[in-house]
């Protein structure tokens, strides 16, 4: 849960309002309906949708979703899983009555434990989630990012903290201007690693 939550918050705070919801959606779909976690993520998904619609000047869409998002937050405490729900709900209330608010200033950052998380703040698991949703948003091969994340995870378990998969995944989320080059390098590393594993497996075939 925390990896998806933190990834979505960091992606949102980086201005990727549409991509942010993907970090939460897969986890949200697996939750039991009506639980606090389900209501919380549902509210966050609709929060980002309201911001996205407002920035796209879809005023009616923004106000409708803002009202709906607030409903999901009503049963939660002011702070839930470290996130300032009260601040998010307050912004939704203002947005619901004045969607052009987004044209007079940036939407507020989401904070967890008082910190407005950015991609630089994410641990490896949260970074892996963020990398995959950003790949989907910008049309990169999601399978490559998924395999790179798995290879990086295996390397970390083996104590290989200098793994190129780990380094490049962090770079992919933190350096948007270099993302195309980084994606290409990840593709090359994934292909080499997969080939190496296939070669080893072939040694034991009869």
Residue 135 and residue 104 share a domain = no
Instruction: Write the DSSP assignment of 53-114 as a string of letters.
Output: HHHTT-HHHHHHHHHHHHHHHTTS-SEETTEEHHHHHHHHHHHHH-GGGGGSSPPPPP-BTT
Residue 174 half-sphere exposure toward CB, CA atoms < 13 A: 16
What is the reported pLDDT for 202? 53
DSSP summary character for residue 140 = -
- To the nearest 5 percent, what fractions of the chain are helix, strand and coil? 75, 5, 25
Whole-model pTM: value is 0.90
Report residue 180's pLDDT band, with 50, 70 and 90 as the boundaries. Answer: very high
Residue 186 and residue 148 share a domain = yes
H or E segment at 174? Answer: helix 164-174
What is the reported pLDDT for 199? 61
**Final residue in a domain of this structure, among 82, 116, 150:** 116
What is the reported pLDDT for 206? 53
Segment among 3-7, 139-143, 192-196 with least mean pLDDT: 192-196
Residue 134 and residue 87 share a domain = no
Query: What are the φ/ψ torsions at residue 175 (nearest 5 degrees)?
Result: -125, 75
What is the reported pLDDT for 26? 82
Rounded to a whole number, what is the distance in angstroms from the first to the last CA of the chain?
Answer: 44
Mean pLDDT of the chain: 92
Residue 162 and residue 92 share a domain = no
Instruction: Between 203 and 169, name the one with better pLDDT.
Output: 169
**Final residue in a domain of this structure, among 93, 116, 139:** 116
Q: Pairing relation of β-strands 79-80 and 83-84?
A: antiparallel
- For residue 36, give every residue at least 6 positions away whose Cβ sits within 8 Å of its Cβ, in sequence order, or none: 75, 76, 80
Structural domain total, the chain: 2
What is the reported pLDDT for 201? 54
Residue 152 and residue 68 share a domain = no
**Final residue in a domain of this structure, among 85, 116, 147:** 116
Residue 107 and residue 66 share a domain = yes
**Domain extent for 145:** 123-202
Q: Contact, 28 vs 48, CB < 8 A?
A: no
């Amino acid at each position: 849960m925390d990896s998806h939550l933190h990834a979505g918050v960091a992606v949102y705070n980086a201005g990727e309002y549409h991509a942010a919801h993907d970090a939460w959606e897969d986890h949200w779909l697996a939750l039991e309906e009506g639980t606090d976690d389900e209501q919380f993520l549902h509210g966050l998904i609709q929060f980002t949708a309201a911001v996205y619609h407002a920035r796209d000047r879809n005023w009616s869409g923004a106000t409708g979703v803002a009202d709906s998002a607030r409903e999901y937050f009503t049963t939660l405490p002011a702070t839930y899983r470290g996130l300032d729900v009260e601040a998010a709900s307050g912004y939704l209330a203002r947005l619901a009555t004045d969607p052009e608010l987004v044209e007079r200033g940036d939407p507020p950052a989401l904070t967890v434990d008082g910190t407005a998380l950015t991609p630089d703040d994410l641990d490896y698991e949260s970074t892996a989630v963020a990398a995959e949703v950003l790949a989907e948003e910008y049309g990169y091969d999601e399978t490559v990012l998924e395999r790179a994340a798995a290879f990086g995870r295996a390397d970390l378990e083996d104590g290989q903290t200098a793994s190129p998969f780990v380094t490049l995944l962090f770079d992919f989320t933190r350096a948007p201007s270099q993302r195309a080059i980084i994606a290409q390098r990840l593709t090359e590393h994934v292909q080499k690693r997969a080939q190496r594993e296939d070669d080893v497996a072939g040694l034991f075939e009869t």
